Amino acid sequence: MEKYDVAIIGGGSAGLAALMELSKLGLQAVVLEGAKPVGSKSVTGGILYSKNYRNAKVYNVEEVYKNFLDDAPVERRITGYYLNAVSENKVYTVDLTDAHNYQTNFAYSVLMVRMNKWFAAQAEEEAQKNGGGIVSGVHVSDIVWENSKTIVQTDELEPIQVNAVVAADGVNSEAALMTGARKKFDVEALYQGVKSVIRLPEDIIDERYGLKEGEGVAHLFAGDISRGHNGGGFIYTNKETLSVGLVYHLDSLIKSPIEPYTLLDSFLTIPQVSNYIKDEVPFVKEFDRDLPKEEQLRMKFGISKLLKSWEELRYTYYSKTARRKAIESRLYKSEEELRHRLDETRKELEEKFRVSFVTNYVELEYSAKLVPDGKRALMDKPYKNNVLFVGDAAGRGVFVGTRIEGINIGIDDAARAARAIARAKEHNDYSEEYMGRYYGELINESPYTDDIRKIDFEYLKIFVNACKEIPTESLNLFLRLGFMLLQKATVQDFARAITKMLDQRTLLALIETNEAYVKIPMEVAEKIGRTVNPDYKIKPPSIDERIAKIRINDDPEPHIKILDPNSRFIKSMVQLCPTKCYIMEILDKERFKSEVVLQHEGCIECGTCSKETDWKHPKGEKGVTYEYG
């Protein structure tokens, strides 16, 4: 039997950080990951943070990966952070950059799959020094304890013997259920995130969002953004793409089910968003059906070849780096020549092939994933026997209104787990009482744990100050009182004392309401917003077109089994599954009898249906492989 000091289940950002830190501490560790390539099942919004807390230590990404700042494939440094209150064709924008910069060293937009690939390369290099590494394409099926040995079983490999396990297997952690460390998260403790990666040339992003080279912004949205459901939207600028999506309370969706892609489409098509994502997109007219078949084929080939060169020329022309490189390598003599070639190619498309150019947008990838709401999902005891839980698997994330943080917290957890395991190795004691409890202490010392549980008064003050133009009569009584207390210098000590007493859970019922998500932002936009009136309508792809683009290697054996096809929850999945895996099958037309059936082909492992199903990740290499994530 193969032996390692540690098995890490899951190679997302948290699991890979655990591998890096354990390896640096001299332990022999192995990541066991279902996805191939490793990290390609992760989805984020996403902004990766490095934080500073004056009185407490944080293990930031640049500390875990020493060459992060020089070498990591980050997208843009976030230099502006805005909240947009939206109503019909009006928008009021609050500048939250100061609130965002609070306790932040830096924040970069990232595409999770690319980022994970880089994390994996660094961590694997370090792990190999101790004989450890990464095995991708394997699904961990069980952890068993036999005669004081810990055995990790997979669907693909011989069992592996280890001294400790790090469970970094994400929001739908099977390790949590295998070990009995926790039950499945309640739907009230989860959000469903749905996202689209949109292509847009670099210079157009810079110009549209008012950015200098390398700078980036985040725009959050609330109000009339998608049919009155409780949640928010986001646009993050990447180098040559945008990450655009929505994060919604799962329980509010279950109460009033609606397809995630319908919500996404509603969001993408409101003028306040379509203005930010629109592009010039070629539209190929249908061929004359009377043309001979060979002629049609010849035309098709000609168009796709020319479209490809037009696209390449355009992305080179509108990217500072690509433009510079193309000229330095003498591919083009000058910028003017490049422009000329671009114009000529476009003209040829228009004149020879009757291609027209319309206002629309280019969607590269559609994805969805559950997000644990740290306030409700946080595991009080993130360990069981010799298994330590980190990141989403432990329900750890700051998701409070405008603060969205999960990646940085998983990395910090992983560094703490590594320290607890290294200490256990030194004392040859991997027991729950020794190693687990020490990990629990380290996690409680993490400033993130406080951040997840408590309201940060200083952050709130900066936030409220940014909102000072908002007419207070738009707020409900509770918020009005809160704003007043936070703004008045004379009662600050009183306000600070109150916020210290209240934890997030106490305040949720007051803050996370339809009023706060939808009604108040709409009223604010109506009262003081500016008008946005585009004269075009963008058209999102159909869900079938979206699914057709995702790489899914279906397992003929279902990895999800419905427990009760007649439960209200399962019925709601007919709408809530982001890739339409659930359908209502008519059993008896005359008696109006029908039943929910699951077609697991096309499952993107978002986890939405997990609460009332026997839910497992697919076997190794099977299932979804994202390109961006």
Ligand X SMILES: Cc1cc2nc3c(=O)[nH]c(=O)nc-3n(C[C@H](O)[C@H](O)[C@H](O)COP(=O)(O)OP(=O)(O)OC[C@H]3O[C@@H](n4cnc5c(N)ncnc54)[C@H](O)[C@@H]3O)c2cc1C
Q: Which spans of this chain sit near ligand SF4 (rule: CB under 6 A)?
A: 560, 573, 577-579, 581, 603-609
Cα–Cα distance between 423 and 68 in angstroms, integer?
27
Cα–Cα distance between 142 and 338 in angstroms, integer?
58
Residues from 360 through 379 that contact ligand X (CB under 6 A) = 369, 371
- The item of ligand SF4, ligand X, none sharing an interface with residue 190, based on CB under 5 to 8 Å by kind, is none
- The item of ligand SF4, ligand X, none sharing an interface with residue 94, based on CB under 5 to 8 Å by kind, is none
- 408 belongs to the binding site for ligand X (CB under 6 A): yes
The least CB distance from residue 490 to ligand X, in Å, is 37
The least CB distance from residue 465 to ligand SF4, in Å, is 40
The burial of 101, by beta-carbon neighbours within 10 Å (0-12 exposed, 13-18 middle, 19 or more buried), is given as middle
Cα–Cα distance between 140 and 160 in angstroms, integer?
10
Cβ count near 531 (within 10 Å): 10
- The item of ligand SF4, ligand X, none sharing an interface with residue 174, based on CB under 5 to 8 Å by kind, is ligand X
- The item of ligand SF4, ligand X, none sharing an interface with residue 75, based on CB under 5 to 8 Å by kind, is none
- The item of ligand X, ligand SF4, none sharing an interface with residue 404, based on CB under 5 to 8 Å by kind, is ligand X
In sequence order, what DSSP letters do the residues of 290-329 get, joined into one string?
TS-HHHHHHHHHHHHHHHHHHHHHHHHHT-HHHHHHHHHT
The least CB distance from residue 42 to ligand SF4, in Å, is 15
Copy the structure tokens of residue 136.
């991708």
The least CB distance from residue 119 to ligand SF4, in Å, is 25
The answer to whether 595 and 280 are in contact (CB under 8 A) is: no
The least CB distance from residue 41 to ligand SF4, in Å, is 11
The least CB distance from residue 581 to ligand SF4, in Å, is 4
Q: How many CA atoms lie within 13 A of 400 on its CB side?
A: 23
- The item of ligand X, ligand SF4, none sharing an interface with residue 43, based on CB under 5 to 8 Å by kind, is ligand X
- The item of ligand X, ligand SF4, none sharing an interface with residue 406, based on CB under 5 to 8 Å by kind, is ligand X
Nearer to ligand SF4, 154 or 579 (CB): 579
- The item of ligand X, ligand SF4, none sharing an interface with residue 170, based on CB under 5 to 8 Å by kind, is ligand X
Tell which residue, 142, 145, 163, has the closest CA to residue 3.
163
Nearer to ligand SF4, 85 or 581 (CB): 581
Stretch of 7-15, 58-66, 373-381, 607-615 lying at the interface with ligand X (CB under 6 A): 7-15
Tell which residue, 464, 458, 454, 461, has the closest CA to residue 500.
454
Tell which residue, 10, 4, 18, 13, has the closest CA to residue 416.
18
The least CB distance from residue 360 to ligand X, in Å, is 23
Residues from 32 through 91 that contact ligand X (CB under 6 A) = 32-35, 41-47
DSSP 189: G
- The item of ligand SF4, ligand X, none sharing an interface with residue 163, based on CB under 5 to 8 Å by kind, is none
Nearer to ligand SF4, 409 or 560 (CB): 560
Which residues touch 396 (CB under 8 Å, ≥6 apart)?
372, 374, 377, 378, 379, 382, 390, 406, 409, 410, 413, 448, 449, 452
Residues from 384 through 403 that contact ligand X (CB under 6 A) = 391-393, 397
The least CB distance from residue 413 to ligand X, in Å, is 8
Q: How many CA atoms lie within 13 A of 58 on its CB side?
A: 23
Q: How many residues are recorded in the chain?
A: 629
The least CB distance from residue 251 to ligand X, in Å, is 17
Copy the structure tokens of residue 13.
């950002």
Beta strands in 328-470 (DSSP E): 356-360, 362-372, 383-384, 387-389, 398-400, 403-405
- 21 belongs to the binding site for ligand X (CB under 6 A): no
Footprint on this chain of ligand X (rule: CB under 6 A): 9-15, 32-35, 41-47, 112, 139-140, 168-170, 174, 193, 195, 245, 247, 369, 371, 391-393, 397, 404-408, 410, 617
